[in-house]
A and B are shown apart, each in its own frame.
Chain A
Amino acid sequence: MYKFLATYLPKSLANIVIGLWYFVLIMINFYCGIAFAQGTFQYVGW
């Protein structure tokens, strides 16, 4: 993904975009993780 961004954007901007993307993804993971820990959604899987 970084390579793709760096092709079309200046390198500094690509760094910011990828950093933001990772941040958002980590936050959503936290949200889902907390929801799971609180038992507000049923877990199916291993």
Chain B
Amino acid sequence: MKLLIEVILFAIPMILLAWTLPKKYVLLSQIVITGLFIAYQSPISFAILSTITFGNYYLLHKAVLPKPVKVAISLAILVLLIVSAKILFTIHHSWIIPLGMSYYIFRNIHYTVESYNGRIQNEGLLFYLAYNFFLPVLIIGPINRYPEFVRDWQRRRMNNEYFSLGLQRMLYGVSKIMIIGNYFLSSKFPSLISNLGENYVWLKTYLNTITVVLNAYFQFAGYSDIAIGISLLLGFRVMENFNFPFLASNMQEFWSKYHMSLSAFCRDYIYTPIASYFRKPMLGVFITMSIIGLWHEITMPFLIWGLLQAFGIYLAFLFKNSADTWLNKNLGRIFVLNYFCLSCVIIDYQELGKALEVYKILFFIP
């Protein structure tokens, strides 16, 4: 909550300057304010982000090396950085992953791959810095794309509709976090569940499982709304992160609506190359979902969680020819909610032994 308030506090001068300064200074002001924010929050993250930004820009656009070599070096360093940070976190829990690192590494991987494919023009160091030091999406996403960022900057003008929409999104985001997440799902609902009595062990466990996942979803969706809202106030349209995922009728649809910026990133840069190289879409799904799991944390529970998501998508693939009726759709929605929440038990408890005990209660296993 403290971090969220501080993001909003730093965003206020940024928005004021964005519409009062001459256009040539606006990006610079955004970079400076974001730099101050990240240096204040996490100096190590500031150092890593600055090094990556300058290093990657120099490597890709200035170094005199063959293009594939430059891209290979850049990707190797970025992947090594994120993997080593995650492994350090797994081994030493006192080590905290630098603020926003999981997200800005993915943004830089996107930039490197797209510049190799020729889909990104070199717009200059200032743009690249502004893309990496963009406060609203820096800490917890969405993983916005560089071409959209540049396009929005070029088309940017004061627009009442954008501004009003931005404020509305921020209000809805805060409401999701404060009212639904913090108040109902973290406080009121758990106390109602704990008052149920000793005889309702199954119901208590089941409701707890659903509540924890929904709380995490509303917190995350709320923050994404705030990030999108602040971006709109700055004149940028950042990609959506959630699109009513729990209304999806199968797991494949669910993952195209849940944490969309991450799933789209993984679809473009992990799934598509693997599926097209091996000509086996399901192999691509299993590898991609495992990586999404491990991206959260490099631990066995997250790997199993990722594989369970892949299995859910496999089930959707098996039943893809079923009739598109009202009943099937709604049964699918109930399945998606339960499948996702039950699969999250593994990562909620972090220990397979504890998770197994919960599964035993949920599936009536003595």
Contacts and interface: CB of A to CB of B under 8 A. Distances in A.
Given A25-B171, A29-B174, A29-B178, A41 B219 contact: no
Contact of A26 (B140, B171, B188): B171
Contacts of A42: 186-187
B136 interface: no
Interface in B156-177: 168, 171, 174-175, 177
Interface in A26-45: 26, 28-29, 32-33, 35-36, 41-45
Contacts of A45: 1, 177, 181-182, 186, 215-216, 219
A42 to B, nearest CB: 6
User: What is the size category of the interface that chain B forms with chain A?
Assistant: 20 to 34
Contact of A41 (B3, B140, B182, B215): B182
B100 to A, nearest CB: 13
B61 to A, nearest CB: 36
A4 B194 CA distance: 40
Interface in B1-38: 1, 3-4
B227 to A, nearest CB: 13
Given A22-B171, A43-B187, 11 more contacts: A22-B168, A25-B175, A29-B171, A29-B174, A36-B183, A41-B188, A43-B1, A43-B186, A45-B182, A45-B215, A46-B223
B173 to A, nearest CB: 11
Contacts of A36: 1, 178, 182-183
Contacts of B171: 22, 25-26, 29
A32 B171 CA distance: 14
B306 to A, nearest CB: 22
Contacts of B44: none
B186 A32 contact: no
Contact of B179 (A1, A29, A43, A46): A29
A14 to B, nearest CB: 13
A15 B187 CA distance: 34
Nearest to B3: A46
B208 to A, nearest CB: 12
A25 B183 CA distance: 14
A35 B183 contact: yes
A41 B178 contact: no
Interface string B274-301: 0000000000000000000000000000
Q: Which of B140, B168, B181, B182 has the most CB of A within 10 A?
A: B182
Given A36-B1, A45-B219, A46-B3, A28 B175 contact: yes
Contact of B178 (A1, A22, A33): A33
Contact of A32 (B140, B168, B183, B215): B183
21 contacts: A1-B168, A22-B171, A28-B175, A29-B174, A29-B175, A32-B178, A36-B1, A36-B182, A36-B183, A41-B183, A41-B186, A41-B187, A42-B186, A43-B182, A43-B186, A45-B182, A45-B216, A45-B219, A46-B4, A46-B219, A46-B223
